[in-house]
Chains A and B, each alone.
Chain A
Amino acid sequence: MPTVLFTSALQRFLPVPSAQVTGATIAEVLAAVFASEPRLRGYVLDDQGGLRRHVAVYVNGRPISDRARLTDAVAQDDEIYVFQALSGG
């Protein structure tokens, strides 16, 4: 199963341990994570279900291409990393 890991910056706000979940696309994988922590959805996605502007999702070290609908395919042993670019003071 794909593994999803979350930035430690999110751990300040809610528990988001790394997880192995089922799913063939980024949307499916994230939906599986949100099912166990519903609050997390609003931290990662905007109201239209796209990635928040300042949140990034990488699969095996490469950014996903479809940030709006999250249709990028995910393989069984992929590692998905959800993080943000820290900026500001």
Chain B
Amino acid sequence: MTERLYIGTHKGLFELARHNGVWDIVDLQFLGDPVSAVLAVTDGIVYAALDLGHFGAKLWRRNRAGNWRELPVPTFPAKPEDAGDDPHPWSLGKIWALEPGGVPGRVWAGTMPGGLFRSADGGESWSLNEALWHMPERRQWLGVAGGEQPGINSVLIDPCNPSDIRIGVSCAGLWASTDTGATWQIINHGMYNEYMPPERREDPIVQDIHLLSRCAARPEIVWCQHHNGVFRSENAGANWHELTAIRPSKFGFAVAAHPRDPDTAWFVPAIKDERRVPVDGKVVVARTRDGGRSFEVLKNGLPQRHAYDLVWRHALAVDETGELLAFGSTSGGLWISENGGDSWTMPEARLPPIAAVRFAPVLH
């Protein structure tokens, strides 16, 4: 089966395939429309979330035959009278994370303004996770980039136990459920948030998690790119230790865990946070293969002079083997590695700004 790569950009969804060792664009959908999330599942089924701005968030799905169809989007219930002081809107802002649920037909959607939704029928209908949405603590969640909308940026499903869920929230820490979302607890300890007042810095609920990534083969291993650095947990997100060896900087958005090796992960560092560009104008990937004790700076094939590409949180992906990686940038740069990041190539394309990169699963 051919490897497929999906690139969600500010101006459409690009599909790439490898032919004779060369990656090339083979399809383009939604030209002109911002894609906020993409999910490729087995049998060629692809979900694409659009963020149309004026006309709201939309969701499309491609079926096995290759035909796209618009699906209903997750919607929030009528806002009750006694929720007048809720600082967050009760209306879908953006679909930010799409993840398979580990059972046939189940899909999770993490959204702005912080609602988690579940579909049991491949996106044909959605239900809001009421337990999370009605938690009093949700009203403490901070909006993304100072805005009014918090966002669920990560949804991690335990591959061995689909009822075990971790979500990462911008900006509200890591929440866990072990009963398919019936109850939730905030569990993250060991992170710190430098920009908060000193007495709140270590409070779990103010942690600015940019993205979480979980080792599929060892789901207790979770990596985090946080606003203030990179962290690793060996107990599924409950306790964290900072990986201070990260180079060339500790700020960034993206992280990808190796699917099989619990000691390997990739990050794309940048200058924090007022500038948000690569250090010294050089695009690099930081890789650890020893659980974060040390990092290699990978740059073979990446631009090393006057490059100002920022890589958003969902724009770095690794396939099921851990050998094939891709990442895309705000400048439309797209780089692919077939050797775990040792070297990178750029397809022949100048793409729009990239928000999401995703490999389709391939049955081996």
Count chain A residues whose beta carbon lies closer than 8 angstroms to a beta carbon of B: 19
Chain B residues near A35 (CB-CB < 8 A): none
Q: Does B18 contact A (CB under 8 A)?
A: no
In the bound complex, do residue A54 and residue B79 qualify as a contact, i.e. CB atoms below 8 Å apart? no
- Contact-residue bracket for chain B: 10 to 19
A21 nearest CB across to chain B (Å): 21
A31 to B73, CA, bound (A): 19
Choose from B55, B58, B76, B77 the contact partner of A10 (Cβ within 8 Å): B55
- The proximity string for A residues 9-51 relative to B, scoring 1 for CB distances below 8 Å and 0 otherwise, is 1101100000000000000000000000001001110111100
A44 to B54, CA, bound (A): 8
Q: Does A61 contact B (CB under 8 A)?
A: no
B335 nearest CB across to chain A (Å): 24
Smallest CB gap from A39: residue in B: B70
Q: Does B47 contact A (CB under 8 A)?
A: no
| Contact residues, B32-90 vs A (CB, 8 A) | 32, 52-56, 58, 70, 72-73, 75-79, 89-90
Smallest CB gap from A9: residue in B: B54
In the bound complex, do residue A13 and residue B53 qualify as a contact, i.e. CB atoms below 8 Å apart? no
Chain A residues near B89 (CB-CB < 8 A): 46
In the bound complex, do residue A48 and residue B79 qualify as a contact, i.e. CB atoms below 8 Å apart? yes
A70 to B70, CA, bound (A): 27
In the bound complex, do residue A84 and residue B55 qualify as a contact, i.e. CB atoms below 8 Å apart? yes
Number of A-B contacts (CB under 8 A): 45
A88 to B77, CA, bound (A): 30
Chain A residues near B58 (CB-CB < 8 A): 13, 42
In the bound complex, do residue A43 and residue B78 qualify as a contact, i.e. CB atoms below 8 Å apart? no
Q: Does B177 contact A (CB under 8 A)?
A: no
Chain A residues near B54 (CB-CB < 8 A): 9, 52, 54-55, 84-86
List A residues at the B interface (Cβ < 8 Å): 9-10, 12-13, 39, 42-44, 46-49, 52, 54-55, 84-86, 88
* Given A84-B55, A88-B53, 14 further pairs, Cβ under 8 A: A9-B54, A12-B32, A13-B52, A13-B58, A39-B70, A42-B56, A42-B73, A42-B75, A43-B52, A48-B90, A52-B55, A54-B54, A55-B54, A55-B55
